[in-house]
Each structure stands twice: as structure tokens, then as C-alpha cells.
A = this chain, B = another copy of it.
Amino acid sequence: MGLLVVGSLGLDTVSTPFDKVDGALGGSATYIALAASYFTGPVYLVGIVGEDFPKEYIRLLENHHVDLDGLQVVPHGKTFRWSAKYHYDLNVRDTLFTELNVFEKFDPVIPEKFRKAKFICLGNIDPELQIRVMDQMNSPKFVVCDTMNYWIEGKKDELLKLLKRVNVLIINDSEARLLAHEPNLIKASKIIREMGPQILIIKKGEHGALLFTEDIIFSAPAYPMEMIYDPTGAGDAFAGGFIGYLHKTHDLSPENMKCAVVYGSAMASFCVEKFSTKGLEDLEYFRVYDRFREFLNLSKFDDKE
């Protein structure tokens, strides 16, 4: 049974202090699917593009065992486009433009064969659409969802409805503070978990990630990066690695969940090492595993008493 991924596919124009790309492959579903593909397959992808979406990107996804039966290609339509410029401090970016194009009318229709999927990753799109996906599923077992400030502020009611139906929410620290109206992340985690998701993951960029469950708090380190070429998609790559590893192992224990957070962090670290999706295109599983081991060495210490 495949892993269902729903989200955006787009063409990105991104500049950083190091380089610039135009019309590069982007979108939350793209990054999630590519990252997950190193752990499991097939990935059932549901999204929308225009006729201008390059064939090479289709081939790239197919080569990663992404099942595109749920990809709507709108005749004469234009693909979603996004442009951003990152500053010297890569934590600061300006969005230069967002052209929704065909994405404006996106109505996620889940193909019959996808509806039996047990593992679902809802990429960062309008919570109304995320709910519409859930309504079409037969009996999902494990649902991971992402969101952002824009929806927390603009579609709070729909988001709260959705949160009652998901197992895991993955957000960053500023989103967690905003959603919970609470600056302390430990307090915020309790407030958010009471909104529905049993499991909360707070991504903290260069400071790693925190996993909160009923019984544990786990602090995953950040990979020590000397150079970040393009932060775009890091959060989606994290989500893809996280759910991809869990879909592969089918072990939802807290101990395995910790490993999934580290595999998510590993995929995010590969993602930002190159522009656009390049860092996720030509990996080998042994490199992913090696990086997992690096995370282990980075945070491991022993009790000598």
C-alpha cells in the first residue's frame, strides 16, 4: 500500500547570496514525495499543475516511484509559481511573488486506488483542502499534517477542525507560538496537543527539532552545516523523511518515532545543501543512513556513574 502525499507542485524562482534559479521544481508535495521516496514506495501523489509543467519533472518524480495517477494536469493551465529572495542571513527571506494559477481552483480528488492508503502526509495547503482529502479516505491509520502562519491566522476554525483528525502536526517554532498564543514552547506544546494531534513536532531550524508525545519529549540536534545553499523545502523534506521512515518500518512506538524525527532532520539537511530539489534527487540510501549515524554521534553521551 502506498503513502499518500497531498500538496502543492510549483515552479520556483529563488535567489540566495550564492546563486539563483528560475522555474525550478518546487512545491510542498514535491519535496515530501522525493524525501519519502528514499524510504518507501510507491508514493501516491495528489496535486495540480498546468500544461507548462516540464516533462522532465514528471520523469524525475516517476523515477522516484511516485505514482502520478492523482496529478491533475490542467489543459492550457499555468502551474503555480513562487519567487523568493533569501538574504545574507538565510533565516530572512522576502517573497517576491506568488502566482496561484491552476492551484487557485485545486480540488483534491483522491483516485479510488489511493483511498485505502493508511499513511497520509498533508502538505502545507489550505486546511479546507486538507479536510476534503480526509473526507475521501477509507480508514487512515496515521495522518501527518503541516501548516503555516498564513492558515493559522486566516483559517483558524478550519485548521482546528482538521487538527482533531490528524495524528501528527509538524510546524516550526514561530508557528507553534502563534497557534498556541504562548511564547514558551513546552507550554505551547501542551496547548497544541490538546487541539487534537497526539504527536507534535516543532522544527527549530539551525537548533534542531522537538518531538512531543503523551509520554516523552525528545530533542533532536541540528546537523552542523557550514553552508546552506537554499533553505527552500527543508520543512517538507523533514516531513517526507519522517513519514517515509515510519511507513517503511510500520512501527509507531515512541522510540521509533525518535528515529523518524532524526531521519526527517537528515533529509532536511540534504535538501538545503543544494538548490531547489537537487539535494533530494540523486541520493543513495546508504548516504541517508550515514547521516543518521552522524546525528547519533552528534548527540550521544553516556552515563558514566
Contact = CB atoms under 8 A, between A and B. Distances in A.
Interface stretch (A102-110, A126-134, A164-172, A216-224): A216-224
A298 B208 CA distance: 13
Contact of A207 (B184, B186, B204, B218): B204
B218 A224 contact: no
Interface residues of A, number: 42
Contacts of A97: none
A143 interface: no
Secondary structure of the A contact surface, majority rule:
mixed
Assembly stoichiometry (copies): 2
Nearest to A305: B289
B302 A255 contact: yes
Contacts of A186: 224-226
A149 to B, nearest CB: 18
A225 to B, nearest CB: 7
A22 B184 CA distance: 27
Contact of A299 (B219, B222, B259): B219
Nearest to A190: B226
A59 interface: no
Interface in A261-305: 262, 289, 292-293, 296-305
Contacts of A298: 217-219
A89 to B, nearest CB: 6
Interface of A: 88-89, 183-187, 204, 206-208, 210, 216-222, 224-227, 249, 255-256, 258-259, 262, 289, 292-293, 296-305
25 contacts: A89-B183, A186-B224, A186-B225, A186-B226, A204-B207, A207-B207, A207-B208, A208-B208, A210-B224, A217-B224, A217-B298, A219-B224, A219-B299, A220-B299, A255-B301, A255-B304, A259-B301, A259-B302, A259-B304, A262-B301, A289-B305, A292-B303, A293-B303, A296-B301, A296-B303
Given A208-B208, A208-B219, 19 more contacts: A88-B183, A184-B227, A185-B206, A185-B224, A186-B224, A186-B226, A207-B207, A216-B297, A218-B298, A219-B299, A220-B299, A220-B301, A221-B221, A221-B299, A255-B302, A255-B304, A258-B301, A259-B302, A293-B303
A-B complex: 3 closest residue pairs judged by Cβ atoms: A219-B221, A207-B207, A258-B301
